[in-house]
Amino acid sequence: MKKLWISLTYLVFIVLLIIPLIRIFSGSWAEGWEGFVEALTRPQSLHALWMTTIIVVSVTLLNTIFGVMLALYLVRATWLGKRLKQLLNSLVDLPFAVSPVIGGLMIVLILGPNTIMGVFFEDIGFKVVYALPGMILATLFVTFPLMVREVMPVLQEIGTQQEEAASTLGAYSWYTFWKVTWPSIRWGVIYGVVLTVARSMGEFGAVLVVSGNIMNKTQTATTLVYQDVENFNVLAANSVALVLAAVSVGLLLLMEWAKKRKGH
């Protein structure tokens, strides 16, 4: 009986995860090394990968800072009422329930070229929708809960004793944060960063709607894969997908490592 369950588990993993992964890796070599390099060094591929990098870096930075602060407030703040805290707490999860396409649509509806705010921003020479800022906003929305949800349980677990001790002994709040709070939430934050990087790199629906997918302008790596598939250029799609998949596997290893450290 035990053997049967284990083999079934192996079967699911091999069919659902391992074979597809191998297929991506082998598919890029269909026309040898040259085909792969050629597909990857197309100007639009390089540009798309560069856009993805910009988005990943800025989104991760912003969400880490604001996510950690918000988690601190939602757990610790005394200036927020209990009811209000509960309400805010349940609002954090909203992006999980929203389809990425709808997430993109929201930004188009509020900041699009036909709206009051969109016109205002365009007048001062700042294009949001169909440009980089909109794409960053969309990705920020989609990845927002990840950091907060990683840090909050850790903060709840460690309690306030140490922090209170530190401040009664006269440590300033900023100092208390660095010396007392930060060391205990560190691995939670790192895990959150890895999750945010993975999600922002892979974001597709929201970015596709907001960016308009203009080649060499607002195209990211994932939307390029989509466009290549639509143009029946599977080999090129495969090469870009391989880069993304390789980074994902690397992130997965990082996740494992951070999870282990977090557990201690």
Partner 1 sequence: MNLMFRSRWWSFGFRSTIMLYFVVLIVLPIIGVYTHSFSLGWEPFWYSVSDPLAWKAVLLTIRLAVIATLINVFIGTMIAWVLIRYRFFGRRFLNSLVDLPFALPTAVGGLMILLLLGPNSWIGELSERLGFEIVFHEPAIVIAMLFVTFPFVIRAVQPLLEEMDQSEEEAAYTLGASKAKTFFQVIFPTILPGILSGAMLAFSRGLAEFGAVVLVAGNIPGKTLIASVYIFGEVESGNPQGAAAVSVLLLTFSFLILWTVNVIQSRRAGK
Give the integer Cα–Cα distance in Å for 225 and 240: 7
> Does residue 5 belong to the site contacting partner 1 (CB under 8 A)?
yes
Q: How many helices (H) and strands (E) does the chain have?
A: 15, 0
Nearer to partner 1 by Cβ, of 1 and 124: the residue is 1
249 near partner 1 (CB under 8 A): yes
Helices 182-202 and 43-76 pack at an angle, to 10 degrees, of 140
What is 104-166 written as a DSSP string? HHHHHHHHSTTSHHHHHHHHTT---TTSHHHHHHHHHHHHHHHHHHHHHHHHHHH-SHHHHHH
Q: How far is CA 120 from CA 112, 116, 127, 137, in A?
A: 11, 6, 10, 17
Q: Is 107 in the site for partner 1 (CB under 8 A)?
A: yes
208-237 residues near partner 1, rule: CB under 8 A = 208-209, 221-223, 225-226, 229, 234, 237
Nearest approach, Cβ of residue 175 and partner 1 (Å):
6
Regarding 54 and contact with partner 1 (CB under 8 A), the answer is no
Minimum distance, C-beta of residue 216 to partner 1, in the bound complex (Å): 19
Q: Which stretch binds partner 1 (CB under 8 A): 31-39, 41-49, 94-102, 123-131?
A: 94-102
Q: Which stretch binds partner 1 (CB under 8 A): 37-45, 87-95, 125-133, 183-191?
A: 87-95
- Contacts of partner 1 in 66-85 (CB under 8 A): 66, 69-70, 73, 77, 79
Cβ-contact 216, 156 below 8 angstroms: no
Site map 123..152 versus partner 1, x via CB under 8 A = --------------x--xx--x--------
- Given a contact cutoff of 8 angstroms between Cβ atoms, the answer to whether 169 and 163 are in contact is no
Cβ-Cβ contacts under 8 Å for 198 (sequence gap 6 or more): 248, 251, 255
Q: Does the protein bind partner 1 through residue 103 (CB under 8 A)? A: yes
Closer by beta carbon to partner 1, 181 or else 238: 238
